[in-house]
Amino acid sequence: MRTVVVTAIGSFSADIVIRKCRENGIRVIGCDVYPREWIADAGNVDVFYQVPYATDTERFMEAMMTICRKEGAEAVIPLTDAEIDVFNLHRAEFGEMDVILCMSDRACIGLCRDKMELYRFLEEHMEGIAIPTRRLEDACLDEIRYPAVCKPYNGRSSQGLKFVGSRREMEGFLQETDPSGYIVQPMIKGTVVTVDVVRSPEQEACAAVCRRELLRTLNGAGTSVQVFRNRQLEERCRAIAGLLGIRGCVNMEFIEDRDGVYHMLECNPRFSGGVEFSCLAGYDCVTNHLRCFEGREIERDDRITGMYTSAFSQYQSKSPRPQTYPGGN
């Protein structure tokens, strides 16, 4: 790849994605919904564009296709769930432009983005691996295990997350919430474990990097972590990735309970906010993600070093040419 578009460059994973692309000699076109002056990594891309929100689907798609044509982009690397959802519905348009969408296949993303369907799928193929999940509108309040967690079935970044301590609290929550868009799960106390997973279907190879998230932001990004090796968990993630048909880099989240049992919460079909930690520990998730879409072999994960880390490295580069796509934002 010679030129790629990286979206949402104000997000947590953007800095390492941009840096690794540039280390691979790739020209990087950066996009974000906010103006260049607000985005730290706008100074680290070759060209920057301010674009509409992905929720404004028509204008967002118009902007992305215009940018790809103008800049001669060969690929797009989406960094947020909202953008991935939109790209997943418009694959044909980018295919006609010979632009690669660096993300998993349509069915895989659809499954990962629906927490209820993901639970059903995993229960069918790997019973007991995922945390018990039910649609809130179908749940009997007396049969729910309290304390419980309610979340949107297609939620992202902990948005809409609600902890419910008792049946009475649940009754109050239901009075102010439409249950049709929610799932309910038992609240299991423990440590959040994120596993960055990179899979090449053609090579039948899969790498996994585990980390305990010791401190997290309110929207679920780890800021202080412990990278560690656990062969059983790594193999479990490889098996899940194979079942789902993962291509490239995704992240899987688990709760590690007091007995050391891992309960799967979700699979996010994108880079994790803390993917840089995996790179620091010895596995370049970004470069290997790109290889999955270039037909190149990915590296093994046998060089990973267990470590504690709590700081992201910084990267400075030349200032880009400010640009706006025709039509503005």
pLDDT score for 325: 46
pLDDT digits (tens, 9 = 90+) for 190-207: 999 999 999 999 999 999
Question: Does a structural domain hold residue 256?
Answer: yes
Let me know whether 161 and 238 are in one domain: no
In percent, the amount of the chain with pLDDT more than 90 equals 83
Domain that holds residue 149: 132-186
Cβ pair 36, 295 in contact under 8 A: no
- Please check the confidence at residue 328 and state whether its pLDDT lies above 70: no
Six token digits for residue 31: 């996009």
The Cα 40–Cα 17 span in angstroms is 14
Does any domain span residue 39? yes
Per the domain annotation, does 196 fall within a domain? yes
Residues 181 and 234 grouped into a single domain? no
* 47 shares its domain with 23: yes
Do 180 and 155 lie in one domain? The reply is: yes
**Tell me, what CATH number does 174's domain have?**
3.30.1490.20
- Residue 208 · residue 242 · CB < 8 Å: no
Q: Are residues 294 and 194 part of one domain?
A: yes
239 and 209 both lie in a single domain: yes
Judged by average pLDDT, the poorest of 37-46, 168-177, 199-208, 311-320 is: 311-320
What is the number of domains present in the chain? 3
Last residue of a domain, one of 154, 186, 218: 186
Q: What is the tens place of the pLDDT at every residue in 221-260?
A: 667 899 999 999 999 999 999 999 999 999 999 999 999 9
Does 319 score more than 50 pLDDT?
Answer: no
* Residue 58: CATH number of its domain: 3.40.50.20
In a domain, 215, yes or no: yes
> Is residue 35 included in any domain, yes or no?
yes
Whether residue 238 sits in one domain with residue 174: no
In a domain, 108, yes or no: no
Report d(CA 93, CA 91) in Å as an integer.
Answer: 6
**Domain-ending residue, one of 186, 206, 226:** 186
Which pLDDT score, from 0 to 100, does residue 74 have? 98
Task: Give mean pLDDT, residues 14-21.
Answer: 98
Asked if 77 and 91 sit in the same domain, the reply is yes
CA distance 184 to 302: 37
Confidence of residue 306 (pLDDT cuts 50, 70, 90): confident
The answer on 174 and 221 residing in a single domain is: no
> Taking the alpha carbons of 232, 81, 220, 113 in that order, is the dihedral positive or negative?
negative
323 confidence band (pLDDT: 50, 70, 90) = very low
Q: What is the CATH number of the domain that holds 243?
A: 3.30.470.20
User: What confidence tens digit (pLDDT) does each residue in 119-173 have?
Assistant: 999 999 998 888 999 999 999 999 999 999 999 988 776 778 899 999 999 999 9
Residues 140, 212: one domain? no
Q: Look at residue 126 and tell me if it is in a domain.
A: no
Per the CB < 8 A criterion, the answer to whether 300 and 306 are in contact is no
In a domain, 112, yes or no: no
| Same-domain status, 93 and 80 | yes
Judge whether residue 314 has pLDDT over 70.
no
Q: What pLDDT, in 10s, does the model give residues 93-123?
A: 999 999 999 999 999 999 999 999 999 999 9
Task: Out of 146, 161, 186, pick the residue that ends a domain.
Answer: 186
Residue 284 shares a structural domain with residue 302: yes
Q: State the average pLDDT for the chain.
A: 91
Cis peptide before 147 (omega within 30 of 0): yes
